[in-house]
Amino acid sequence: MARLQAIRGMNDILPDQTALWQHLEDSFRATVDSFGYREIRFPLIEQTRLFRRSIGEVTDIVEKEMYSFEDSGGDHISLRPEGTAGCVRAAEQHGLLYNRQQRLWYQGAMFRRERPQKGRYRQFHQFGVEAFGMAGPDIDAEVIELSAAYWRRLGLGGKLKLELNNIGSAEDRKRYGGALGEYLLSRADEIDAAARSRIHSNPFRVLDSKHPGTRKVADEAPAMAEYLSPESVAHYAALKELLRAAGIRHIENPSLVRGLDYYNYCVFEWTTDALGAQGAVCGGGRYDGLVAQLGGRPTPAAGFAIGIERLALLLETLDRIPPEAQFRADVCLVVLGPATTVAQELARRLREAFPARSVVCQCGGGKYAQQVKRAYDLRADVLVVMEAGEGGPPAEVKLRSLDERFEPRMVTRDQCVAAVGELLSLSPPARQDL
């Protein structure tokens, strides 16, 4: 039988990488906590029509990237391609939006059947925030500031560029869409077939085309700015002023349209040149129409989603992975000869004395050199070497480090816990969140 392999574009996150993922998760949780956002968890699978109605029928995601099935009961269901739709559905279904503001966050796997390449996968993971019930630009500024605070916490301050665009209100977009459609029709023979097929259904998507001929036509298209209502202009100007006051720099990108239909007013992306073609690490904006579109009462809303794989890649590429984002054991017991019972008993006492520390007691025996090699693999801080001979378990154990940070020393088994405690006080816990 052929060797079983993961599905293309779906990654295993291996133990060597999970410490970094945990670091990203812990830092994100600390950031959203500091802004008073609360976690929401919702299913990986929803009714297909939820995504069709929210993301938009004529978007890449809905047209060709969703994993959609008919289950054995005949229900049409899809793996979630993004989090906003499910978050709105859950919040609305449970009455969280009724006459109330909500600041929510989520994390988890998303699924899109895209062509896999570096930074683009079919199962990927996002952190997201969604804020409901706040109509002014202050909440747009807050979610952007929250994302900036997260970059700073990760040591990425100044490493990402904030791109902004004003895509106007729903009415502005209707007027602009009409004008854009007419313009595109007048130059239909210069653009590619895919773009042509969208002239009527979703002309905005033509604006971020990468096809050279279409790109030229898109670059010369009438500008959205000419169709913006005074309210849209004022909202955007106020947001930019708030960002300026917060010390967050941005650049304007008039061709930033985002791949999802539900946005209005301000959309944004945090991007980097360090990841090649897949340079968007975070995308978001305001989506005031979505709650009503899904059957709720009109509710202003804004949010963003961060791609966790791209963030992990960026930290690796920029060599910004801090020591606490790498796995290491605090204590490793090397057990030579028939000393299992006393070694495991000592390990138990160490774990009880230092509950925030990791204590690995070697199992399965092996020569000294082999066991030290395993301790290296665990990047252990303190080695406790216990050697049992003919006379049974030893009265003393040896404490040593792998990097000569301290002089090796012999201590009695009874002194061991206190002595290890002293040595551990020289280094912070491997897992600081415990």
| Min CB(317)–ligand AMP separation in Å | 14
Q: Token pair of 189, please?
A: 């023979």
Closer to ligand AMP by Cβ: residue 82 or 172: 82
| Sequential DSSP letters for 142-196 | HHHHHHHHHHHHTT-TTTSEEEEEE---HHHHHHHHHHHHHHHHHTGGGS-HHHH
| Min CB(269)–ligand AMP separation in Å | 6
Closer to ligand AMP by Cβ: residue 113 or 328: 113
Residue 371 CA to chain centroid, in angstroms?
Answer: 37
| Min CB(196)–ligand AMP separation in Å | 24
Give helix 48-55 / helix 84-93 axis angle, nearest 10°: 110
Q: Token pair of 89, please?
A: 């559905």
First to last CA, the chain: 44
| Min CB(122)–ligand AMP separation in Å | 7
With tokens 């985002």, the residue in question is 258
- CA–CA gap between residue 160 and residue 354 (Å, rounded): 39
Q: Are residues 333 and 359 in contact, defined by beta-carbon separation less than 8 angstroms?
A: yes
When CB distances to ligand AMP are compared, the closest residue is: 307
State the residues that interact with ligand AMP by CB under 6 A: 82, 112, 114, 119-121, 124, 126, 259, 280-283, 305, 307, 309-310
Q: Token pair of 178, please?
A: 């009409």
Q: b or e along 108-131 (b: 16 or more beta carbons within 10 Å of the residue's beta carbon)?
A: bebbbbbebeebbbbbbbbbbbbb
3-state secondary structure of 50: helix
**Using CB atoms within 10 A of its CB, is residue 402 exposed (0-12), middle (13-18) or buried (19+)?**
middle
**Using CB atoms within 10 A of its CB, is residue 3 exposed (0-12), middle (13-18) or buried (19+)?**
exposed
| Min CB(281)–ligand AMP separation in Å | 5
| Min CB(259)–ligand AMP separation in Å | 5
| Min CB(119)–ligand AMP separation in Å | 6
Q: Are residues 429 and 414 in contact, defined by beta-carbon separation less than 8 angstroms?
A: no
| Min CB(242)–ligand AMP separation in Å | 22
Phi, psi of 361 (to 5 degrees): -105, 120
| Min CB(39)–ligand AMP separation in Å | 19
Closer to ligand AMP by Cβ: residue 127 or 227: 127
What's the Cα-to-Cα distance from 326 to each of 171, 321, 373, 387, rounded to whole Å? 50, 8, 18, 30
3-state secondary structure of 425: coil
